[in-house]
Structure 1
Amino acid sequence: MIPCLRYADPKAAIRFLTEAFGFVEKLVIPSPDGGVIHAELTYGAGETRGMVMVGGAERKFFDMHLPAEVRGVTDCLYVVVADTDAHCAKARAAGAEILEGPLDREYGSREYVARDPGGYLWDFGTYDPWKG
């Protein structure tokens, strides 16, 4: 599965996600006005690689709303990282709002939770559900 996130300023979101969380631009399709129509950002490699697609909020897609429009979020995105503390330090230095951690979970994962400038929640941790 590939989550699709919409941002009021997708260019700023892409910059933040790459600088703070370590995503890599795979594809960015610019709009004629200098914005972003569609972007694909990857993270990791092998079995733990993932992707998010990023777009702007100017065009309503079905009934999707930005977190700020509904004053909250109903879910978060989980990303497997090798070194939670180092990842958190990089995210904090890049301006991520750290909401929790790093801390050890009872199921053996070391995790932290951050909110990005678009209002989305991200949970980064060492637990890899593919490895059991």
Structure 2
Amino acid sequence: MPSPAKATISTVIPGLRYRDAHAAIDWLVRAFGFERHAVYDGPNNTVAHAQLSFGNGMIMLGSATNEGAYAEMMAHPDEIGLRETQHPCLIVADATAVYEMALAANATIVTELAEMPYGGKAFACRDPEGHLWSVGEYDPWAG
């Protein structure tokens, strides 16, 4: 059976929700180097939908509200003891440089920058709303 994936740049795009999505977008740009691809404002200073690109990857995000069916299916990290059931992983050329950017943006480091046994340096941090991010040089696509 052929793959059902569409022939596009990135076929898996994580989705996140933030209480202050505008501030989260600014932080993700400063801390990791994301670029604003699209930001659609919602009512009452919310973000209805945003797309931030990172190389050939992307995340989608929006404001966390207590409205609608989708809101009932997702929890914010502060509602579940900062636990996560998934986390975005960023593949970077220089983890040390991104680590320094994240520190400058006041990221909460949960795993210090270190050389990994499977290759490259990596670290993990939380953004200002508690979402967990892994950042590393290991390229799972490399031979």
Deviation for aligned residue 1:77: 1.4
> Which deviates further from its counterpart, 74-83 or 17-26?
74-83
Which residue matches 1:79?
90
Q: Hey, which of these two has a bigger chunk of strand by percent?
A: 1
Unaligned 5+ residue runs, structure 1?
Answer: none
The letter for the 1-side match of 2:103 is: R
**1:84·1:124 contact (CA, 8 Å) conserved in 2?**
yes
Following TM superposition, the consecutive aligned residue runs of length 4 or more in structure 1 with deviations greater than 4 angstroms are: none
Query: How many correspondences in the alignment?
Result: 128
Q: Higher Cα Rg: structure 1 or 2? A: 2
Give the TM-score taking structure 2 as reference length. 0.84
Q: Does 1:115 align with 2:122?
A: no
Which residue matches 2:40?
29
Aligned-residue sequence identity (percent) comes to: 41
The letter for the 2-side match of 1:57 is: A
**1:20·1:96 contact (CA, 8 Å) conserved in 2?**
yes
Q: 1:104 aligns with which of 115, 119, 135?
A: 115
Give the TM-score taking structure 1 as reference length. 0.91
Deviation for aligned residue 1:33: 2.2
Q: 1:51 aligns with which of 49, 52, 58?
A: 58
Q: Does 1:90 align with 2:101?
A: yes
Which residue matches 1:13?
24
Q: Does 1:130 align with 2:141?
A: yes
CA distance in 2, matches of 1:76, 1:109: 19
Unaligned 5+ residue runs, structure 2?
Answer: 1-11
The structure showing larger relative contact order (alpha-carbon pairs under 8 Å, at least 6 residues apart) is: 1
**1:73·1:119 contact (CA, 8 Å) conserved in 2?**
no
Residue 73 of structure 2 aligns to a residue whose secondary structure is: coil
